């Protein structure tokens, strides 16, 4: 008979495996294991508890539900802290659902269902402003008459930085999808996502996901990125966005200087500008690096394609929660 380590686990045994109470007194260890600071974890739990209760109330009062409220099986992980820890381990270490089941005393199918239920509410709990902040700022920018008035309310939007990041995916079986997913730059099958950040590395926008063959500028155009940002803001990009400043000459979009064909090196002034530009633009690389601390964002993505974008948005929201005031 096969041995299943998650069978017949009591609540105390599951807590003992995680050493949850012990780690509450070791914040540095907690952050290394789960990728989230302990105080931010407690904030996240409190927010998710509200959203989870609202979602459960709707589910239990569904007209199609045959059982009365309170009937049916209970969740094996009753505490919301355990549910959040399971998601954090999944995001931080990108382990399989079977491994998570062994850790928490669940079947892999229970883990899958729990992840699917938590997926839509995680972003809202970690950073409620991620979806709306830039849009609200854009609407306000159209009402004010001067940049001074706009930046008095949104000082963090003076300079914005845009970049795209790639993540390896499994080789698609379909020939068309395989061709679209192949990134000639990285020589991998990948998904691409564009993000916009401010100088404090706060992530302000996460694009839809695109196949690895799609160029950065193409994503920029498809996302209508210029329309997303306030007209008073300066937008910094790399050479992947060549042509954007000319196409949007009325906006403040700065790219580094590129050597002309046959030119050995740039003039001193242009080299100096490129160095300053690189120093300002590096914050978007830092933001991407913080996202990739969570290995579900940096390893091979094994999940369903339709859930990829929400997973990336959840990681971006966690990074904002962890490093920025939200």
Q: What is the rounded average pLDDT of the residues 306-310?
A: 95
Residue predicted with more confidence, 92 or 26:
92
As a whole number of angstroms, the distance between CA 184 and CA 214 comes to 10
Q: Are 248 and 226 in contact (CB under 8 A)?
A: yes
Beta strand 188-198 pairing with 203-206: antiparallel
My answer on whether 26 and 55 are in the same domain is yes
My answer on whether 198 and 248 are in the same domain is yes
Q: Are 294 and 315 in contact (CB under 8 A)?
A: yes
> Which DSSP symbol is given to 303?
S
48 in any annotated domain? yes
As a whole number of angstroms, the distance between CA 147 and CA 231 comes to 9
As a whole number of angstroms, the distance between CA 159 and CA 236 comes to 7
My answer on whether 184 and 319 are in the same domain is yes
Of 126, 160, 179, the one marking the end of a domain is 126
Q: What is the rounded average pLDDT of the residues 32-46?
A: 94
| Domain harbouring 281, CATH code | 3.30.420.10
pLDDT at 79: 86
6 in any annotated domain? no
Among 129-133, 185-189, 201-205, the least confident range: 185-189
2 in any annotated domain? no
pLDDT at 324: 86
Of 72, 105, 126, the one marking the end of a domain is 126
Residue with tokens 């954090």: 88
My answer on whether 62 and 181 are in the same domain is no
181 in any annotated domain? yes
Q: What is the rounded average pLDDT of the residues 290-297?
A: 96
My answer on whether 188 and 316 are in the same domain is yes
My answer on whether 138 and 103 are in the same domain is no
As a whole number of angstroms, the distance between CA 102 and CA 81 comes to 18
Q: What is the rounded average pLDDT of the residues 132-136?
A: 96
My answer on whether 25 and 153 are in the same domain is no
Angle, nearest 10°, between helix axes 80-93 and 97-104? 140
My answer on whether 137 and 30 are in the same domain is no
Q: How wide is the angle at C-alpha 115 spanned by C-alphas 44 and 85, nearest 5°?
A: 40
My answer on whether 200 and 293 are in the same domain is yes
Q: What is the rounded average pLDDT of the residues 105-117?
A: 92
Residue 313, pLDDT > 50, answer yes
Q: What is the DSSP string of 163-207?
A: EEEEEEBPPPSSHHHHHHHEETTTTEEEEEEEEEEETT--EEEE-
Of 101, 126, 151, the one marking the end of a domain is 126
5 in any annotated domain? no
My answer on whether 186 and 67 are in the same domain is no
Q: What is the rounded average pLDDT of the residues 9-20?
A: 53
Band of pLDDT at residue 10, cut at 50, 70 and 90? low
Which residues form the domain of 90?
11-126
Determine phi and psi for 35, rounding to 5 degrees: 75, 5
My answer on whether 149 and 271 are in the same domain is yes
Q: What is the rounded average pLDDT of the residues 215-242?
A: 96
Give the pLDDT confidence of 248-293 residue by residue, as tens digits. Answer: 999 999 999 999 888 889 999 999 999 999 999 999 999 999 999 9
4 in any annotated domain? no
My answer on whether 119 and 151 are in the same domain is no
Domain count, the chain: 2
Q: What is the rounded average pLDDT of the residues 161-170?
A: 96
Q: Coil, helix or strand for 210?
A: strand
3 in any annotated domain? no
């Amino acid at each position: 008979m096969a041995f299943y380590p998650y069978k017949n686990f009591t609540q105390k045994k599951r807590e003992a495996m995680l050493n949850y109470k012990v780690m509450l007194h070791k914040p540095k260890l907690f952050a290394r294991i789960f990728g989230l600071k302990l105080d931010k974890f407690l904030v996240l739990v409190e927010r998710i508890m509200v959203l989870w209760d609202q979602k459960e109330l709707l589910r239990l009062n569904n007209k199609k539900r045959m059982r009365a409220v309170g009937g049916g099986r209970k969740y094996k992980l009753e505490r919301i802290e355990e549910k959040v820890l399971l998601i954090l381990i999944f995001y931080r270490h990108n382990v399989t659902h079977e491994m998570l089941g062994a850790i928490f005393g669940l079947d892999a199918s229970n883990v899958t269902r729990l992840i699917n239920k938590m997926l839509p509410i995680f972003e809202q709990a970690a950073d409620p402003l991620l979806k709306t902040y830039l849009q609200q700022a854009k609407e306000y920018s159209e009402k004010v008459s001067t940049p001074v008035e706009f930046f008095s309310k949104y000082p963090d939007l003076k300079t914005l930085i845009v970049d795209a990041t790639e993540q390896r995916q499994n080789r698609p079986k379909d020939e068309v999808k395989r061709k679209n997913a192949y990134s000639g730059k990285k020589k991998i099958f990948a998904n691409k996502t564009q993000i916009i950040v401010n100088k404090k590395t706060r992530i302000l926008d996460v694009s839809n996901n695109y196949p690895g063959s799609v160029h950065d500028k193409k994503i920029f155009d498809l996302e209508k990125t210029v329309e997303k940002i306030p007209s008073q803001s300066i937008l910094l990009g790399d050479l992947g966005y060549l042509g954007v400043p000319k196409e949007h000459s009325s906006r403040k979009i700065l790219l580094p200087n590129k050597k002309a064909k046959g030119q050995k090196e740039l003039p001193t002034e242009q080299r100096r500008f490129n160095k300053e530009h690189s120093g300002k633009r590096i914050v978007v690389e830092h933001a991407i690096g913080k996202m990739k601390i969570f290995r579900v964002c940096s390893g091979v993505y094994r999940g369903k394609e339709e859930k990829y974008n929400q997973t990336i948005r959840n990681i971006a929201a966690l990074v904002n929660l962890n490093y920025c005031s939200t």
